[in-house]
Amino acid sequence: MAFELPPLPYPTNALEPHIDALTMEIHHDRHHGTYVSNLNAAIEKHPELAGKSVEELLGNLAAVPEDIRTTVRNNGGGHLNHSIFWKIMKPGGGGEPVGEFARAVNETFGSFAAFKDNLSKTAVGQFGSGWGWAYLDGSGKLVIKGFPNQDNPVMEGGKPIMGVDVWEHAYYLKYQNRRADYVAAWWNTVDWEEVDRRYREAR
């Protein structure tokens, strides 16, 4: 079954003023839509891969035929990253973590402020296009790391919990080169209930 572009869980203007409607429209419909189209085109060349989830493909890229491996890595990663990204944001989001994820943040980083500062610096400092991810590593520890391009923690045996997109297409219309301002504003969109759900599911 072909991969599909998931609908946005809210209107394109729902995250304003933090993320503008035009950016959301272009980001979701065109950029994410293109990742899905390219991924499907690659998989069509190798019917034996049909039915595999994007997590299965990315988690074992060595098993993906070499002629489509880079396409699957880039576009499969883009599909997975954005499918998570849309869901961990909501209108009227922000505030502080809740539930088990809040406890994990405090136990691992000492405070939400320290966690927020770490993830913000990681995202802002990611050279070129990429993501700042908070995820569970192979040992089940909550960690923060930057990933280039559309790479995802799944590629390293991790379980992604929340990530901030720092590709220029995610913010340039509104923030231009002010990546730090975008990341600071992005925290006002986070859906902590969804983040906590993802954390509990990943454990």
The CATH 3.55.40.20 domain(s) of the chain lie at 99-202
Is 80 exceeded by the pLDDT of residue 183? yes
The band of 154, judged by pLDDT with boundaries at 50, 70 and 90, is: very high
How confident is the model at residue 168, as a pLDDT? 98
User: In the predicted model, what is the mean pLDDT of residues 105-134?
Assistant: 98
Is 70 exceeded by the pLDDT of residue 153? yes
The band of 190, judged by pLDDT with boundaries at 50, 70 and 90, is: very high
Q: How does strand 159-165 pair with strand 130-136?
A: antiparallel
Closest Cα to residue 103, out of 115, 94, 119?
115
Name 147's bridge partners.
131
| Edge-to-edge strand ranges of the sheet holding 142-148 | 142-148, 130-136, 159-165
From residue 35, how far is each of 55, 61, 100, 195, 196 by CA, in Å? 15, 17, 33, 24, 27
Q: Each residue of 43-82: pLDDT tens digit?
A: 999 999 999 999 999 999 999 999 999 999 999 999 999 9
User: Which of the 8 DSSP states describes residue 107?
Assistant: H
Is 90 exceeded by the pLDDT of residue 20? yes
The band of 111, judged by pLDDT with boundaries at 50, 70 and 90, is: very high
Token duo for residue 189: 């969109």
The CATH 1.10.287.990 domain(s) of the chain lie at 21-87
How confident is the model at residue 118, as a pLDDT? 98
Considering the chain, what percentage of its residues have pLDDT values greater than 70? 100
How confident is the model at residue 1, as a pLDDT? 63
Domain at 99-202, CATH class: alpha beta
Closest Cα to residue 183, out of 202, 162, 166?
166
Instruction: Return mean pLDDT, the chain.
Output: 97
Q: One-letter amino acid identity for 94?
A: G
21-87 in CATH: which number? 1.10.287.990
